[in-house]
Amino acid sequence: MTFIDPSFNKILHIGDQFDQYQIQSYLAQGGMSDIYRAFDMLTRREVVIKIPNQSMLGDPAQAERFQRELEVITSLDHPAVLKGIGSGIYNRIPYLVTEFIDGKSLRQVMELSGAFLPEKAIPILLKVAEGMAYCHAQGIVHRDLKPENILIRLEDGQPIIMDFGLALTRRSHRVTFSNLTVTLGTPDYMAPEQIEGQRGDIRTDIYALGTILYEMLAGRPPFGGDTPLAVMAQHLNNTPPRLDQVAPKVSPALAAVVARCLQRQPEARYADMPALMEALQNPASADLALLEPQKQKNRPGIQQSQMLWGILLGMGLMVGLIALALLLQTLLP
């Protein structure tokens, strides 16, 4: 169980009543949200409530992010996808309600166990891939897959995908300046096309699952760096170390499957989740030539330095807009 500092400045506290919900415990903090375990006094069941953290309450796009996530999770019905229950606004605070799952995030499990053996990692990833294949069939691309967004149920080890706030749907449109938060997320699992500002597609999720599987097997992500920008630059231009050399228990064939997921060009990756699942179940057919660094080509387009300066400028712009919104909130009656 992750320890939460009781001095942390939270909006809600244990015992508070928030709309029809009584707060039971504080579960986690994301980049933009606080997550609480609560008791629904009308339905008499435990639920999870997600609200924007205080630094994001001035973000005018936050409500749309919540609405997008609600539309996605209430339209899906799969054992590997978290179920949405409802949403609302209480005391001017938007919130999202989901089912409560007794479990730990994949991140927590990885921190406790260290690197996984292939026979433990592959069944987990296959179930996640199956859930994402279902999502893709419904026209939904997650775009933010990472260990923090995969919950492992304690009862049976079932992985459950959550946090669809950045999901791309058939009806999705770009969200004003808050769209820059896609680039401000954890860069370890971002596909090169996301870093370049593209919207991404099914193959973007395949890249993310490749980075997750690499980390599960190696005990560390494929790329590292002192700053997010350094990690982004590696995703754009570098080839990760061969997985079978970093993790001796991994066969060259399985390493080649992961390497194909991590190809910088989307068209060089697996075309869809069923193809990835087939490769994980039958890795002997993998192309071992993918383990050679020269198989990867640098992505065309703007120069790396120009791209990274653009990302940095976008970060500064977003921070400035949020600060301005918060200032206006305090000045207006």
Q: Which residues are part of the catalytic machinery?
A: 144
Give kind and range of the element (H or E) at residue 87: strand 84-90
Residue pair 169/71 in contact by the 8 Å Cβ criterion: yes
Residue 112 burial by Cβ neighbours in a 10 Å radius (0-12, 13-18, 19+): exposed
Beta bridge partner(s), residue 60: none
Q: Please give the structure tokens belonging to residue 199.
A: 């919207």
In the numeric block, the tokens 């330095």 are attached to: 305
Q: How far apart are CA 138 and CA 273, in angstroms?
A: 13
CA distance readout (Å), 67 to 84, 93, 262: 11, 13, 31
Helices 252-261 and 273-281, axial angle in degrees (round to 10): 170
Q: Give the torsion sign (CA, 200, 204, 205, 208).
A: negative
- Encode 147-186: b = buried (16+ Cβ within 10 Å), e = exposed: bbbbbbeeeeebbbbbbbbbbbbeebeebebbbbbbbbbe
Beta bridge partner(s), residue 49: 36, 97
CA distance readout (Å), 112 to 20, 105, 235, 250: 36, 11, 27, 20
- Of 57, 45, 1, nearest in space to 20 by CA: 45
Give kind and range of the element (H or E) at residue 216: helix 202-218
Q: How far apart are CA 186 and CA 223, in angstroms?
A: 12
Strands (DSSP E) found in 273-315: none
